[in-house]
Amino acid sequence: MSIKYIVHLANYSDGILYVLAFLLFVALAVIIDRFWTLRSTILRGKSVIHTAAELATLRQAEFAKLLQASKNLPEAVLIDTAMRHHGGVSQDALSNRLDESIMLIAPSLDRRLWVLDTVVTLAPLLGLFGTIVGMFHAFNVLAQPGHAPAEVTAGVADALVATAFGLFIAMLGLTGFNALSNQVRLIVHQLDLLKMMIVNRTDGAPVMSASNAARPASATHLATA
């Protein structure tokens, strides 16, 4: 297929193929970018979870090591939340605050996936529109004197290229969207698992009440004396 013929097909659809080519480029860019980022996040997150699973308890020193290992990962938000509230709130309150952190992180995990969702819906419609425009050109040959039937059938074949291209882009985008959505689901599962590990491994930690936290050291000394 020569460049000249590709230009002919694009012109036959009144430029719709150019728009479809742009959608293909956008879809590939999103798939490659998000796949690389999410895959790296999953692999590094597994390492953090394995490290946490090997610890019997989690205290400030362990949290500091995990926080260093989870730098630039969603898990770092959970570990930082646990560090700030560990020993100062009850287990139920800590669990709720970790859930809150997960809900704050979740929207950033599937960013730009809406682009793929849009491409999957838009590409077949644009392809069909390009085919309809091409049909106009094909049947317009019938109005010209001395037309040949082969010109009409060849024009119809050229017009159908737009629909085929749109369907191809939609199938590619749908495959990428489902794969990336599954990766997001795995990351959210890792965050839920880490949250459970934090709660289970900080169970039994002393909780500092507000009244005790506000009492000066001298008052505490006198009370014990």
Please state, for a pLDDT cut of 90, what percent of the chain lies above it. 48
- The domain total for the chain is 1
Tell me, yes or no, whether 210 lies in a domain: yes
Average pLDDT over residues 39-64: 91
Tell me, yes or no, whether 220 lies in a domain: no
Q: Give Cα 13 distance to the centre of its chain.
A: 33
What DSSP element (H or E) covers 22? Answer: helix 16-53
Tell me, yes or no, whether 225 lies in a domain: no
Answer with the residue of higher pLDDT: 193 or 14: 193
Tell me, yes or no, whether 223 lies in a domain: no
Average pLDDT over residues 150-175: 83
Q: How confident is the model at residue 31 (pLDDT cuts 50, 70, 90)?
A: very high
CA atoms within 13 Å, Cβ hemisphere of 107? 4
Segment 73-89, tens digit of pLDDT:
999 999 999 988 887 88
Average pLDDT over residues 165-185: 95
Q: How confident is the model at residue 203 (pLDDT cuts 50, 70, 90)?
A: confident
Amino acid (1-letter code) at residue 41: T
The whole-chain average pLDDT of the chain stands at 82
pLDDT at 13: 66
Segment 102-151, tens digit of pLDDT:
999 988 898 889 999 999 999 999 999 888 887 777 677 666 665 556 66
**Owner of token pair 């097909």:** 9
Nearest to 126 by CA among 162, 86, 171: 162
Segment 53-73, tens digit of pLDDT:
998 888 888 999 999 999 889
pLDDT at residue 15 above 90?
no
Contacts of 41 (CB under 8 A, 6+ apart): 73, 74, 187
Domain that holds residue 14: 3-215
Q: Classify 97 in phi/psi space as left (phi over 0), alpha (psi -120 to 50) or beta.
A: alpha
Average pLDDT over residues 10-38: 88
Tell me, yes or no, whether 71 lies in a domain: yes
Answer with the residue of higher pLDDT: 155 or 205: 155
Task: Provide the whole-model pTM.
Answer: 0.78
Answer with the residue of higher pLDDT: 36 or 146: 36
Nearest to 170 by CA among 98, 216, 122, 107: 122
